[in-house]
Amino acid sequence: MRTAYTADQIRAAEHVLMAKLPPGTLMQRAAAGLAAVCADLLGSVYGKRVVLLVGSGDNGGDALYAGERLARRGAWVGAILAGSKTHQEGLAALREAGGRVVDRTALDRADLIVDGLVGIGATGALREPYQELVQEANAAAAPIVAVDVPSGVDASTGQVQGTAVRARVTVTMGAYKTGLLLDPGAACAGIVELVDIGLGSYLPDPDVAALTDSDVDVLLPRPGKESDKYRRGVLGVAAGSDLYTGAAVLAVGGALRAGAGMVRYAGPAAPVAQVRAHWPEAVITQLERPSIDDVGRVQAWVLGPGLGTDDWAHELAARVLESHVPVLIDADALTLVARERSLLFRSAPVLITPHAGELARLIRVDRDDIEAARLEYTRRAAAELGVTVLLKGSTTVIAEDSRPARVNGTGTSWLATGGTGDVLSGVAGSLLAQGLSCYDAAACAAYLHGLAGRMAADGAPLAAADVATAIPAAIRAVSGDNG
């Protein structure tokens, strides 16, 4: 699992470790790791032109000492000193190795740019001369390697106010920073390389975590020799309406592809006909009234995709939420519970899967505020509503009160198309029915859904049904089973 920490958590751990080591040890460890990544990116170091953007803090020192190492291997290394002060020992070491101080015109001929302008403690918009220098570096042809975090990215939140470095690679020291896993910071960071400087045993519980293939593989339910369709999990799906028949088809498809032993679909006549045509495996109950009495036993429910928001839908939602099994609430059902939040007051677990607009209605804040601080508001919603929250977006954020938030970045921008959220609901609901907690089901579903989206798109547009079809391949990929 990839764990990440706030700037305050990192600095506290560094303070404890530095007290146990000779002065400058951590900076030399960081510089060695940074220089190694730069050398790998350059291929052949000798004769290459490296330009360092040097600020006033320790990141500037890291860049200078890394530049020294590259200069000793034959690189031409120039430092643009942008800060009000400079790490003098690092600058002296660079000069002794043959490096020099240069002006901004050196950016035009650089083979590699190293961003050491600001460190993890910086917040808010970059000031001059940093802002203009970052804009010039971004416009240059050379790739940029950021030290710890790209300048302009808030290390603790991923927020960007104004200009930020767009790095090809970010070399982060000691531990991942939360802002490197959350957009827009994650998009600025590029590939993130972690350099171990010895912080491990001094770090507290993580601020956020991101699952890896192996984590998902361990969590996913697997059928055993004694399994049958009932033991593998029975999911109820209350979705679709005369207007939105496709939402029911996609949610059921996502659930079946994700391994539910049985899917019981309940809805009105129009979506019933579509689900029956697409998924003969589903057990179907056509509802003449908004009741689930005749649906049969389930281990979890998916409620809401395409359901509508009229009185009939409200009554059906109320009946589902009166049940004593976990319920995933999505789409139209989120609108219903935003109107009547008391529907969420239940003893069994609830997982909600909103986008930013739906979450804004639920917790009564502006959508723009949520988009600007996704982690903060996802956590707030989980605590305020007493539910597990999966906030959809370019970086999916999952929060449950008193637990580290989880983030997921396996997706692709091609997933921004109608119906993919319905598939996600089906996948997560299937995992709930198979026995995963809301917290684990949400994280695994987001991971598989994003991975399936990448596989289905392969760099080109996709339809939501393509994502559902690719879910089994995503499951095989995380388990390493390609047979």
Q: What is the 3-state secondary structure (H, E, C) of the chain?
A: CEEEECHHHHHHHHHHHHCCCCCCHHHHHHHHHHHHHHHHHHCCCCCCEEEEEECCCHHHHHHHHHHHHHHHCCCEEEEEECCCCCCHHHHHHHHHCCCEECCHHHHHHCCEEEEECCCCCCCCCCCCCHHHHHHHHHHCCCCEEEECCCCCECCCCCCECCCCCCCCEEEEECCEEHHHCCCCHHHHHCEEEEECCCCHHHCCCCCEEECCHHHHHHHCCCCCCCCCCCCCCEEEEECCCCCCHHHHHHHHHHHHHCCCCEEEEEECHHHHHHHHHHCCCCEEEECCCCCCCCCCCCCEEEECCCCCCCHHHHHHHHHHHCCCCCEEECCHHHHHHHHCHHHHCCCCCEEECCCHHHHHHHHCCCHHHHHHCHHHHHHHHHHHHCCEEEECCCCEEEECCCCCEEEECCCCHHHCCCCHHHHHHHHHHHHHHCCCCHHHHHHHHHHHHHHHHHHHHCCCCCCHHHHHHHHHHHHHHHHCCCC
121 is in an annotated binding site: yes
482 is in an annotated binding site: no
306 is in an annotated binding site: yes
Q: What is the pLDDT of residues 445-460, one digit of tens each?
A: 999 999 999 999 998 9
Task: Check the CA dihedral 378-379-384-388 and report its sign.
Answer: positive
Q: What is the pLDDT of residues 204-225, one digit of tens each?
A: 999 999 999 999 999 999 887 7
294 is in an annotated binding site: no
Whether 228 shows a pLDDT value over 80: the answer reads: no
Q: What is the pLDDT of residues 75-129, one digit of tens each?
A: 999 999 999 999 999 999 999 999 999 999 999 999 999 999 999 999 899 999 9
420 is in an annotated binding site: no
Could you check whether the bond before residue 280 is cis, i.e. omega within 30 degrees of 0? no
330 is in an annotated binding site: no
125 is in an annotated binding site: yes
Q: Where are the domains of the chain?
A: 2-207, 213-479
Residue in 228, 264, 62, 27 with CA at minimum distance from that of residue 145 = 62
Residue in 158, 225, 145 with CA at minimum distance from that of residue 193 = 145
According to CATH, the topology of domain 213-479 is UDP-N-acetylmuramoyl-L-alanine:D-glutamate ligase (3.40.1190)
CA distance 183 to 186: 5
**Average confidence (pLDDT) over 146-165:** 96
Q: What's at 180, amino acid-wise?
A: L
CA distance 69 to 64: 9
Residue-level pLDDT at 459: 87
119 is in an annotated binding site: yes
Whether 480 shows a pLDDT value over 90: the answer reads: no
370 is in an annotated binding site: no
**Average confidence (pLDDT) over 138-155:** 98
123 is in an annotated binding site: yes
Q: What is the pLDDT of residues 399-433, one digit of tens each?
A: 999 999 999 989 999 999 999 999 999 999 999 99
**Average confidence (pLDDT) over 189-199:** 96
Residue-level pLDDT at 303: 98
**Average confidence (pLDDT) over 297-326:** 98
Paired tokens of 203: 């770090």
**Average confidence (pLDDT) over 310-320:** 98
- Return mean pLDDT, the chain: 96
Contact 420, 446 (CB under 8 A): no
213 is in an annotated binding site: no
58 is in an annotated binding site: yes
Task: Check the CA dihedral 354-156-5-204 and report its sign.
Answer: negative
Count CB-CB contacts under 10 A for residue 156. 24
372 is in an annotated binding site: no
Q: What is the 3-state secondary structure (H, E, C) of 218-233?
A: HHCCCCCCCCCCCCCC
Beta bridge pairs of residue 263: 235
Contact 444, 404 (CB under 8 A): no
48 is in an annotated binding site: no
Task: Check the CA dihedral 311-317-321-322 and report its sign.
Answer: positive
394 is in an annotated binding site: yes
CA distance 130 to 150: 12
122 is in an annotated binding site: yes
259 is in an annotated binding site: no
Could you check whether the bond before residue 271 is cis, i.e. omega within 30 degrees of 0? no
395 is in an annotated binding site: yes
5 is in an annotated binding site: no
33 is in an annotated binding site: no
Residue-level pLDDT at 483: 46
167 is in an annotated binding site: no
Residue-level pLDDT at 482: 55
**Average confidence (pLDDT) over 355-372:** 95
Paired tokens of 171: 């070399």
- The percentage of residues in the chain with a pLDDT greater than 70, rounded to a whole number, is 99
- Residue 142: phi and psi, rounded to 5, are -75, 145
Confidence of residue 436 (pLDDT cuts 50, 70, 90): very high
Contact 184, 160 (CB under 8 A): yes
130 is in an annotated binding site: yes
Residue-level pLDDT at 227: 72
Given 3.90.1300.10, 3.40.50.10260, 3.30.413.10, 1.10.3210.10, which CATH number is that of 2-207?
Answer: 3.40.50.10260
151 is in an annotated binding site: yes
CA distance 57 to 118: 7
N-term to C-term CA, the chain: 26
